[in-house]
Amino acid sequence: MIIILIGPPGSGKGTQSQRLIDYLETAHLSTGELFREHISSESALGCEAKQFISRGELVPDHVVDSMVVQTLEQPRFADGCLFDGYPRSVPQAEALSQLLNLQQREVTLVLELDVPDSVLVERLLARQRADDTLETIKHRLEVYGAQTRPLLEYYKQRGKLETVDGQGSVDDVFGRIQAVVNQLKTDSSESEESNPSTCSN
Protein backbone atom coordinates (compact mmCIF):
# COMPACT_ATOMS: atom_id res chain seq x y z
CA MET A 1 0.00 0.00 0.00
CA ILE A 2 1.14 3.51 -0.76
CA ILE A 3 -0.55 5.98 1.58
CA ILE A 4 -0.21 9.77 1.61
CA LEU A 5 -1.04 11.89 4.68
CA ILE A 6 -2.02 15.47 3.82
CA GLY A 7 -2.96 18.18 6.27
CA PRO A 8 -2.11 21.73 7.28
CA PRO A 9 0.92 22.41 9.49
CA GLY A 10 0.28 21.01 12.95
CA SER A 11 -2.60 18.77 11.85
CA GLY A 12 -0.75 15.77 13.28
CA LYS A 13 0.81 14.21 10.17
CA GLY A 14 4.02 13.36 12.03
CA THR A 15 2.16 12.21 15.15
CA GLN A 16 -0.28 9.93 13.30
CA SER A 17 2.40 8.62 10.91
CA GLN A 18 4.29 7.10 13.82
CA ARG A 19 1.17 5.16 14.83
CA LEU A 20 0.30 4.13 11.30
CA ILE A 21 3.75 2.82 10.35
CA ASP A 22 3.75 0.65 13.49
CA TYR A 23 0.25 -0.59 12.69
CA LEU A 24 0.93 -1.34 9.02
CA GLU A 25 4.61 -2.26 9.49
CA THR A 26 5.47 -0.13 6.51
CA ALA A 27 8.27 2.27 5.55
CA HIS A 28 7.91 5.99 6.36
CA LEU A 29 9.00 8.97 4.34
CA SER A 30 8.62 12.39 6.00
CA THR A 31 10.08 15.20 3.88
CA GLY A 32 9.94 17.55 6.90
CA GLU A 33 11.95 15.07 8.97
CA LEU A 34 14.46 14.54 6.13
CA PHE A 35 14.95 18.31 5.86
CA ARG A 36 15.47 18.63 9.62
CA GLU A 37 18.14 15.87 9.44
CA HIS A 38 19.90 17.70 6.59
CA ILE A 39 19.69 21.00 8.50
CA SER A 40 21.22 19.54 11.65
CA SER A 41 24.06 17.89 9.69
CA GLU A 42 24.58 21.22 7.84
CA SER A 43 24.57 19.53 4.40
CA ALA A 44 24.28 21.69 1.24
CA LEU A 45 20.67 20.54 0.86
CA GLY A 46 19.98 21.42 4.51
CA CYS A 47 21.40 24.93 4.06
CA GLU A 48 19.20 25.48 1.01
CA ALA A 49 16.06 24.08 2.69
CA LYS A 50 16.59 26.08 5.91
CA GLN A 51 16.11 29.42 4.18
CA PHE A 52 12.63 28.39 3.03
CA ILE A 53 11.51 26.49 6.15
CA SER A 54 12.42 29.34 8.52
CA ARG A 55 10.27 31.73 6.45
CA GLY A 56 7.33 29.30 6.39
CA GLU A 57 7.70 28.73 2.63
CA LEU A 58 7.69 25.38 0.86
CA VAL A 59 11.09 24.12 -0.20
CA PRO A 60 11.24 24.32 -4.06
CA ASP A 61 9.84 21.28 -5.86
CA HIS A 62 13.07 20.31 -7.65
CA VAL A 63 14.90 20.04 -4.29
CA VAL A 64 12.12 17.99 -2.70
CA ASP A 65 11.62 15.71 -5.69
CA SER A 66 15.27 14.76 -6.09
CA MET A 67 15.52 14.02 -2.35
CA VAL A 68 12.41 11.80 -2.58
CA VAL A 69 13.73 9.94 -5.65
CA GLN A 70 16.98 9.13 -3.83
CA THR A 71 15.15 7.97 -0.72
CA LEU A 72 12.65 5.79 -2.59
CA GLU A 73 15.50 3.88 -4.24
CA GLN A 74 16.19 2.23 -0.88
CA PRO A 75 14.95 -1.40 -0.85
CA ARG A 76 12.83 -0.89 2.28
CA PHE A 77 10.38 1.17 0.17
CA ALA A 78 9.80 -1.63 -2.36
CA ASP A 79 6.71 -3.05 -0.58
CA GLY A 80 4.90 0.25 -0.04
CA CYS A 81 5.20 3.19 2.29
CA LEU A 82 3.58 6.06 4.10
CA PHE A 83 4.31 9.54 2.74
CA ASP A 84 4.05 12.17 5.46
CA GLY A 85 4.01 15.77 4.19
CA TYR A 86 4.78 14.79 0.61
CA PRO A 87 3.50 15.67 -1.94
CA ARG A 88 2.64 19.22 -0.86
CA SER A 89 1.83 20.72 -4.27
CA VAL A 90 0.23 19.53 -7.52
CA PRO A 91 3.61 19.52 -9.37
CA GLN A 92 5.04 17.29 -6.58
CA ALA A 93 2.01 14.95 -6.94
CA GLU A 94 2.62 14.74 -10.68
CA ALA A 95 6.32 14.00 -10.16
CA LEU A 96 5.39 11.24 -7.69
CA SER A 97 2.83 9.78 -10.06
CA GLN A 98 5.41 9.61 -12.88
CA LEU A 99 7.92 7.98 -10.59
CA LEU A 100 5.41 5.36 -9.41
CA ASN A 101 4.25 4.72 -13.00
CA LEU A 102 7.80 3.82 -13.95
CA GLN A 103 7.71 1.22 -11.18
CA GLN A 104 4.19 0.08 -12.22
CA ARG A 105 2.81 1.22 -8.89
CA GLU A 106 0.22 3.81 -7.84
CA VAL A 107 -1.01 5.66 -4.78
CA THR A 108 -3.50 3.51 -2.85
CA LEU A 109 -5.02 6.08 -0.47
CA VAL A 110 -4.74 9.77 0.41
CA LEU A 111 -5.77 10.69 3.96
CA GLU A 112 -6.54 14.32 4.70
CA LEU A 113 -6.36 15.40 8.36
CA ASP A 114 -8.93 18.16 8.77
CA VAL A 115 -8.29 20.59 11.66
CA PRO A 116 -9.50 24.22 12.01
CA ASP A 117 -6.87 26.98 11.93
CA SER A 118 -7.50 28.10 15.54
CA VAL A 119 -6.62 24.61 16.85
CA LEU A 120 -3.54 24.41 14.57
CA VAL A 121 -2.13 27.71 15.86
CA GLU A 122 -2.60 26.56 19.47
CA ARG A 123 -0.85 23.22 18.83
CA LEU A 124 2.07 24.73 16.91
CA LEU A 125 2.74 27.44 19.47
CA ALA A 126 2.82 24.75 22.15
CA ARG A 127 5.31 22.66 20.09
CA GLN A 128 7.97 25.43 20.10
CA ARG A 129 9.95 24.28 17.04
CA ALA A 130 12.23 26.91 15.43
CA ASP A 131 9.74 27.45 12.56
CA ASP A 132 6.75 27.70 14.95
CA THR A 133 6.58 31.46 15.60
CA LEU A 134 3.14 33.09 15.24
CA GLU A 135 4.19 35.03 12.14
CA THR A 136 5.64 31.93 10.41
CA ILE A 137 2.66 29.79 11.37
CA LYS A 138 0.24 32.30 9.78
CA HIS A 139 2.29 32.32 6.60
CA ARG A 140 2.50 28.50 6.53
CA LEU A 141 -1.30 28.34 6.76
CA GLU A 142 -1.58 30.75 3.78
CA VAL A 143 0.93 28.67 1.83
CA TYR A 144 -1.07 25.52 2.67
CA GLY A 145 -4.26 27.14 1.31
CA ALA A 146 -2.58 28.31 -1.90
CA GLN A 147 -0.26 25.42 -2.76
CA THR A 148 -1.31 22.28 -0.87
CA ARG A 149 -5.11 22.53 -0.65
CA PRO A 150 -5.47 22.15 -4.47
CA LEU A 151 -4.01 18.65 -4.03
CA LEU A 152 -7.19 17.58 -2.25
CA GLU A 153 -9.23 18.19 -5.42
CA TYR A 154 -6.48 16.51 -7.49
CA TYR A 155 -6.74 13.28 -5.48
CA LYS A 156 -10.53 13.52 -5.06
CA GLN A 157 -10.91 13.51 -8.86
CA ARG A 158 -8.78 10.36 -8.94
CA GLY A 159 -10.99 8.65 -6.31
CA LYS A 160 -8.17 8.41 -3.74
CA LEU A 161 -9.17 10.96 -1.08
CA GLU A 162 -10.58 10.21 2.37
CA THR A 163 -10.98 13.02 4.91
CA VAL A 164 -10.57 12.32 8.61
CA ASP A 165 -11.49 14.68 11.45
CA GLY A 166 -8.11 15.54 13.03
CA GLN A 167 -9.59 17.01 16.23
CA GLY A 168 -9.77 15.18 19.55
CA SER A 169 -7.14 13.07 21.26
CA VAL A 170 -4.30 11.39 19.34
CA ASP A 171 -6.03 8.04 20.06
CA ASP A 172 -9.40 9.31 18.76
CA VAL A 173 -7.83 10.52 15.52
CA PHE A 174 -5.86 7.31 15.06
CA GLY A 175 -9.05 5.27 15.61
CA ARG A 176 -10.65 7.12 12.66
CA ILE A 177 -7.58 6.54 10.48
CA GLN A 178 -7.53 2.84 11.39
CA ALA A 179 -11.20 2.53 10.39
CA VAL A 180 -10.48 3.95 6.92
CA VAL A 181 -7.40 1.76 6.40
CA ASN A 182 -9.17 -1.38 7.62
CA GLN A 183 -12.11 -0.72 5.29
CA LEU A 184 -9.68 -0.35 2.39
CA LYS A 185 -8.02 -3.67 3.25
CA THR A 186 -11.43 -5.40 3.41
CA ASP A 187 -12.50 -3.90 0.07
CA SER A 188 -9.28 -4.95 -1.66
CA SER A 189 -9.36 -8.51 -0.33
CA GLU A 190 -13.04 -8.84 -1.41
CA SER A 191 -12.19 -7.61 -4.90
CA GLU A 192 -9.26 -10.07 -5.11
CA GLU A 193 -11.64 -12.90 -4.14
CA SER A 194 -14.21 -11.91 -6.78
CA ASN A 195 -11.52 -11.32 -9.48
CA PRO A 196 -8.86 -13.98 -8.85
CA SER A 197 -5.68 -13.65 -10.87
CA THR A 198 -5.63 -15.84 -14.00
CA CYS A 199 -1.83 -16.26 -13.72
CA SER A 200 -0.59 -19.53 -12.32
CA ASN A 201 2.99 -20.08 -11.23
- Closest alpha carbon to 148 in 36, 66, 35, 32: 32
Measured CA to CA, the distance from residue 41 to residue 34 in angstroms comes to: 11
Please select the residue that binds ligand B4P; options are 52, 114, 139, 180, rule is CB under 6 A: 52
- Closest alpha carbon to 122 in 134, 131, 114, 136: 134
174 binds ligand B4P (CB under 6 A): no
Q: Are 4 and 100 in contact (CB under 8 A)?
A: no
Please select the residue that binds ligand B4P; options are 2, 4, 29, 31, rule is CB under 6 A: 31
Candidate ranges 82-90, 102-110, 180-188, 192-200; the one touching ligand B4P (CB under 6 A) = 82-90
88 binds ligand B4P (CB under 6 A): yes
Measured CA to CA, the distance from residue 110 to residue 157 in angstroms comes to: 12
Q: In this complex, which beta carbon is closest to ligand B4P, that of residue 123 or of residue 156?
A: 123
148 binds ligand B4P (CB under 6 A): no
Q: In this complex, which beta carbon is closest to ligand B4P, that of residue 80 or of residue 91?
A: 91
Give one DSSP letter per residue of 22-45, joined into a string: HHHT-EEEEHHHHHHHHHHTT-HH
**CB-based closest residue to ligand B4P:** 32
**Number of alpha helices (DSSP H) and beta strands (DSSP E) in the chain:** 9, 5
Question: How far, rounded to the nearest angstrom, does the alpha carbon of residue 33 sit from its chain's CA centroid?
Answer: 11
Q: In this complex, which beta carbon is closest to ligand B4P, that of residue 9 or of residue 111?
A: 9
Q: In this complex, which beta carbon is closest to ligand B4P, that of residue 130 or of residue 197?
A: 130
Q: Summarize as ranges the residues that interact with ligand B4P (CB under 6 A).
A: 7, 9-15, 31-32, 35, 52-53, 58-59, 64, 85-86, 88, 92, 123, 127, 140, 169-170, 173
